[in-house]
Amino acid sequence: MSAPLKRLQTLRLRALRALTTWPNARAWRDSGWALLWFALFALATGFATRFFQAQPTAMPPLKFLGVMVILFVFPGITEELIFRGLVLPHPSEDGFEPRRRRSLVVSILIFIVWHIGNAWLIFPAARPVFWDWRFLLIVTGLGWACGWSYQRTGSIWPPVIIHWFIVVVWKACLGGPVFFK
């Protein structure tokens, strides 16, 4: 089998394992601790740097519910599947332990660059936010929390919930912009 074909097969298998592994109670608890750690870090950073504003969204509740569903798919499932499920080795893979830390750092760096590039290429309206050093610092913490959770559980679902929950709270209560309506 050619190297590109083998790499594609590995990525397909990683995605399948990430999506079909369901965490046990301990894995959910560990992911809850990652969410708590990150939430405290993000709140302290966001308020100390005035990136966050205690400001509820003016969007009608039913409309915001639609936004929440969209956020579950993108960035929730989509970004987590790409940056955790495909980039990070699954815990069941041979050689997982030696590559674990290095892969997590690479995943976080790609996650940061994605946000910068996303504002450059896809959502120019997001540039003031996505290029802000405070946002990128919080994104770094989110990448760590989601990556750590994925490596502990082997499941994409805890990082999806963490990512989705954080973005929803930011947009609902802390002045985060909604780029689509």
Q: What is the rounded CA–CA span in Å between residue 90 and residue 9?
A: 14
Q: What is the per-residue pLDDT across 49-91, written as a single tens digit (0 to 9) for each?
A: 999 999 988 889 999 999 999 999 999 999 999 999 999 999 9
Residue/partner pairs of 118-124 with CB below 8 Å, 24 or more apart: 123/179
pLDDT over 70, % of the chain: 98
Confidence at 93, pLDDT banded by 50, 70, 90 = confident
User: What would the pLDDT profile of 127-172 be if each residue is shown by its tens digit?
Assistant: 999 999 999 999 999 999 999 999 999 999 999 999 999 999 999 9
- Provide the total of helices (H) and of strands (E) in the chain, helices listed first: 8, 0
Euclidean distance between CA atoms 18 and 12, whole angstroms? 10
Is the sign of the CA dihedral 65, 70, 75, 79 positive or negative? positive
Distances (CA, A) of 149 to 49, 118, 153: 27, 24, 6
Q: What is the pLDDT of residue 95?
A: 78
Angle between helix axes 157-173 and 25-48 (nearest 10 degrees) is: 30
How does residue 180 score in pLDDT terms, banded at 50, 70 and 90? Answer: low
pLDDT band at 115 (very low <50, low <70, confident <90, very high): very high
